[in-house]
Structure formats: structure tokens, C-alpha cells
Amino acid sequence: MAKANNNYLSESSVHSVHLIVQRIDKDVERGEDILMSGLGLVMMSTFFAPIAPPAVLLPFVAITLAISASAARIHYQAMKHKLHSSLEQIEQPEQIILKPIVSVFGEHPPESLSDSFNPLKNLKRTLKSALGGLLINPFWMPIFYMMGIQIGEEKNFGFLNFAIIGVEKRLMPMPPDH
């Protein structure tokens, strides 16, 4: 098991920017895996539908989504801290190359978990969840609410992916014919 590190640079390197981009890209993949594992577990819950009543099964589905979204948010915040810690170790010109990635964390900061799970602070999500619950089944309201949180986390990782791709394109050497 790899030692937990508080930044993306574990050793001094001539290619610090490449190393940071490579490692943050892997962390984005891990974050997406966290979200997909939660969604996968939710999809598998249909196997228990014949034996578990909705009053039992549906709250477990909501809890599973809440756990995966929370773990992804914590991972996203850890990535932000590791990136900022890594920026302190590199020169200004290298920091400029990483600016698109840094700006994603500034433009799309995650809410605190207490704010995300508070229905009174997320009235739009609460109303959508209530409407969905009224249309399908009242037990689905918490599931819709947690799905809204999960979708928000997926968007953050998507924005990071686009920024990483942009930085990788800038770092790629030009083909000889250009």
C-alpha cells in the first residue's frame, strides 16, 4: 500500500508539472471510481427487491448514494489540498501551466457536507426530490436528493477532467511535421 502523501510531488523532478498532472489525473479517476462504485451498488439493489420491501431497501439505496458522494467529496477536497501544497514546491512559470486545473477548484468548490445534506439550504434539490417522490413513491425522495448530490460531485470531476486534458495538450510535444 502506498504511503499517503500530502502533495503530488514526492521527489524532486525536472518534470514536476508532468508528474503533478499525471498524479492528479489518477486521483480524478479514483474519485470517479468512488462515484461509480456507489452507483453500481445501487444498481445491484434490484436483486434484493423481491425479498426486501421498499420501506427497507430504498433507504439503504439513499444511504449508499450518500456514502459514495461523501467519499468523493472528501477525495476532491484532498486533491485540492495536495495540489496547492505541490504548487508551493514549483516555480512560477510551472504554476502558470497548472492554472486551468487550479482554477477548477476555485470555480467549483464543493459545499461542506453539512450544507449538502441540509434540505433547507438546497431548496431546488429538495423540491425536485419531492416532486419525483410524489410522481413515483415517497420513499424515493431521499434517493432523488442523494442523486442530486452525486451528480454535483460527478460534474466537479468532469470539470477537472477537461482542465487536465487541456493542460496535457499543452505539455505534449509537437509532432515533427508541425
Task: Give per-residue pLDDT as tens, 21-63.
Answer: 999 999 999 999 999 999 998 888 888 888 888 888 888 999 9
Q: What is the CA radius of gyration of the chain?
A: 20
CB of 69 closer than 8 Å to CB of 153: yes
142: its cell numbers: 431521499
With cell 434490484, the residue in question is 46
Number of domains composing the chain: 1
Q: Does residue 176 fall inside a structural domain? A: no
Give the rounded distance of the alpha carbon of 133 from its chain centre.
26
Q: Does residue 36 fall inside a structural domain? A: yes
Is residue 176 helix, strand or coil? coil
151: its cell numbers: 451528480
Comparing 29-43, 70-84, 131-145, the range with the smallest average pLDDT is: 131-145
Instruction: Read off the pLDDT band of 1 (50, 70, 90).
Output: very low
Q: Does residue 94 fall inside a structural domain? A: yes
- From CA 170, how far away is CA 166, in angstroms rounded? 7
Q: How many residues does the chain have?
A: 178
Q: For residues 8-28, give the mean pLDDT.
A: 82
Q: Does residue 142 fall inside a structural domain? A: yes
Q: Does residue 178 fall inside a structural domain? A: no
pTM of the full structure: 0.86
With cell 503530488, the residue in question is 8
Q: Does residue 1 fall inside a structural domain? A: no
Q: Does residue 39 fall inside a structural domain? A: yes
Q: Does residue 12 fall inside a structural domain? A: no
Q: What is the span of the domain harbouring residue 52?
A: 18-171
